[in-house]
Amino acid sequence: MTDDASHIPAATLTPRQEAILRAVVERYVASGTPVASKHMARGDIAASPSTVRNELARLEEMGFLRHPHTSAGRVPTDAGYRYYVDEMLPALPVPASAQAIARVLQPGAMRAEVTDALQQLADDVSQVTDLLGVVTAPAPPSATVRHVEVLILQPQVVMVVVITSAGDVRKRIHTFDHAVDQGLAEWARAFLNERAAGYPVGSGTLEGRLDDPSLSARERGFVETLGPALLDGDPASQGALFVGGRARLLHGHRSEIEVIDALMERLEERYTLLALLRGALTRHEVYLRIGRELPEPGLQGLAMVAANYGVPRGNLGTVSVFGPTRMDYPLAVATVKNAAAALSRYLEDVYE
């Protein structure tokens, strides 16, 4: 389940430590209350109470568990959840309820319109997991670059103007800590037009064309500064978001109301969630972020599980769930994977 280097690999635990960590995670997810050592010694772990207490203390020292200030029990940290997901989850059985999601997309069960299907899937994913279900629609075809201008407005201020095939005009202003040479600006205009004209705005192909190893350090730095005007996708063209389970999430996680409120606020900022999900589109495995692995400080009490869907010639969008870090990860991961796979099969007929 490890999908990139955004988190530090956890230390290796002994089998007994893994068993104790798993028990704490699963008990805490199920109950929402910190797990005390006396409960651990009642059958979960084949060890004496003193041994369990020592191992719990060791896991806390290693950063996998913590003590809430109001309780003598322990709860998992982000690192504890991450170890559970990476090291234990692959060996766990797939929850039966996660397998049922595929039936939503069987022939005869699907609604006629793709947009209706995506909304229904978001609702069903939420219903299975008790989390917020989010499905991104396929983005419309990207407009291509028609022309680029690089204008010096003031000695230290440069404006990049990008005109697209759709007739849109995109402007970005950059302020430098030194005066910009007119010759450099004219060179950049010629270079950007030569490399970018005819290529889709925000595409990986265009990004590769602007990355020229033959450029001098000065030229490369200037292009890297101006590049976002061509490489940042237009939020309006990123495709629609279909969201299911707002009320269910608010009702089912009242104890984590602050982080849930933060997520609800981000739903009003559509671009923020789309940016979080963008990383899933380039992968062929589950894309999972826990707590502080999310870049937005306001979302760091949450977890996100996402998988891409698409057709053989490319990925089209993502199926995901959002919720508190105290979530049923086996259920969330399996549901998202099965939903994305089923949606891919359905869309093969639509996009053939």
Residue of 102 and 277 predicted with greater confidence? 277
Which CATH fold topology does 145-234 show? Enolase-like; domain 1 (3.30.390)
3-class DSSP string for the chain: CCCCCCCCCCCCCCHHHHHHHHHHHHHHHHHCCCECHHHHCCCCCCCCHHHHHHHHHHHHHCCCEECCCCCCCEEECHHHHHHHHHHHHHHCCCCHHHHHHHHHHCCCCCCCCHHHHHHHHHHHHHHHHCCEEEEECCCCCCCEEEEEEEEEEECCEEEEEEEECCCCEEEEEEECCCCCCHHHHHHHHHHHHHHHECCECCCHHHHHHHCCCCCCHHHHHHHHHHCHHHHCCCHHHCCCEEEECHHHHHHHCHHHHHHHHHHHHHHHCHHHHHHHHHHHHHCCCCEEEEHHHCCCHHHCCEEEEEEEEEECCEEEEEEEEEEECCCCHHHHHHHHHHHHHHHHHHHHHHCC
List the CATH code of the domain at 15-91.
1.10.10.10
Mean pLDDT (whole number) for 183-200: 94
Report the range of poorest mean pLDDT among 14-28, 119-133, 232-246. 232-246
Confidence band of 266 (pLDDT split at 50, 70, 90): confident
Check whether domain 96-139+238-350 has CATH 2.40.30.10, yes or no: no
- Share of residues in the chain with pLDDT > 90 (%): 45
Mean pLDDT (whole number) for 128-145: 83
Where do the structural domains in the chain lie, given as residue ranges?
15-91, 96-139+238-350, 145-234
Mean pLDDT (whole number) for 339-344: 89
Confidence band of 316 (pLDDT split at 50, 70, 90): confident
Question: For residue 103, what pLDDT is reported?
Answer: 66
